[in-house]
Amino acid sequence: MIELKSPEEIQRMAVTGQFVGELLADLREVAAVGVNLMDLEHHARRRIKERGAESCYWDYAPSFGRGPFRNVLCLSVNDAVLHGLPHDYVLRDGDLLSIDMAVGIDGWVADSALSVIVGTPAPEDLKLIEATEVALTAAIDAAQPGRQLGDVSAAIGEVAHRYGYQVNNEFGGHGIGRTMHEAPHVANKGRPGRGMTLKPGLTIAIEPWFCRSTDKIKFDEDGWTIRSADGSRTAHSEHTVAITEAGPQVLTTRPGQDTRPADRSGQSATTS
């Protein structure tokens, strides 16, 4: 069942989204060569506790996981792209780190992710991250009231194709609101003009993720961490978005970030 939110409820989600955006921006600055992944995890735990928020990840136990998730962040390094289990690993120069988090405040949830290169960036890694960010912007621009969900998915797939990446559709975006995962599923490729009509009040997490040279994935023995099947590097970008009468509203904007939709001349706003 899809629950449409009122403008007041969307505003409450935006309060949560502001905190998520601020914390992700903070973590992006904390991540550096020589920093342990567990330092990032404990930094986030402290900030979440201070805010009086609740992690949506803690004790999360879907069918694919091995036991409940006992962390507040997903930290995925290099060929890991989703659900990376924080562990004792010290970041090295050139590592590509994806940070994903979802929290609830006063019963309303927001979810967001970003990828960042620690230390010296390789051009091919910058391109990969850029592709996910451009795809996210294109998908947000497509999330207009009256259009179809397939338009959002198709926008992601079109950007991936333009950059030369394949798309895996096993994991994608989702509805969000009172809980982290609600209907509908938001695939990362699809056909325009298909699927449900986007109505004001719909709130979704849009999250393009790409592997550099494959669309196949594999799981670590921990049952959580998802990697590219061929060991190539990966990247992931995500925002929580509300469909409103005036158009898409990004609820997880990070400080200093421009998330305005692309204008009709084709110039896209950045989502980095």
pLDDT, one tens digit per residue, over 80-90 is: 999 999 999 99
Instruction: Give the C-alpha separation, 118 to 235, whole Å.
Output: 13
Maximal CA-CA distance, the chain: 49
Confidence class of residue 13 from pLDDT cuts 50, 70 and 90? Answer: very high
Residue-wise DSSP of 72-83: S-EEEETTEEES
Token pair for 127: 């391109």
Read off the amino acid at residue 28. R
pLDDT at 258: 62
Token pair for 15: 């309060």
Instruction: Give the C-alpha separation, 242 to 3, whole Å.
Output: 12
pLDDT at 272 over 60: no
pLDDT at 256: 77
Q: Which of 85, 100, 127 is nearest to 233 (CA)?
A: 127
Q: Residue 243: helix, strand or coil by DSSP?
A: strand
Confidence class of residue 1 from pLDDT cuts 50, 70 and 90? Answer: confident
Q: Residue 12: helix, strand or coil by DSSP?
A: helix
pLDDT at 180: 97
Decide if 108 contacts 177 (C-beta within 8 A): yes
For residue 51, count CB atoms less than 10 angstroms from its CB and return exposed for 0-12, middle for 13-18, buried for 19 or more.
Answer: middle
Residue 263 or 165, more confident = 165
pLDDT at 62: 87
Instruction: Give the C-alpha separation, 98 to 171, whole Å.
Output: 15
Segment 232-239 shows an average pLDDT of 98
Question: What's the DSSP call for residue 52?
Answer: T
Segment 188-213 shows an average pLDDT of 98
How distant is the alpha carbon of residue 55 from its chain centre? 15
pLDDT 10s digits, 104-153: 999 999 999 999 999 999 999 999 999 999 999 999 999 999 999 999 99
Confidence class of residue 245 from pLDDT cuts 50, 70 and 90? Answer: very high
Segment 27-38 shows an average pLDDT of 98
Torsion 243-244-249-252 (CA) sign: negative
Residue 5 or 262, more confident = 5
Instruction: Give the C-alpha separation, 67 to 228, whole Å.
Output: 22
pLDDT at 243 over 80: yes
Range from 65-74, 141-150, 212-221, 261-270 carrying the lowest mean pLDDT? 261-270
Question: What's the DSSP call for residue 15?
Answer: H
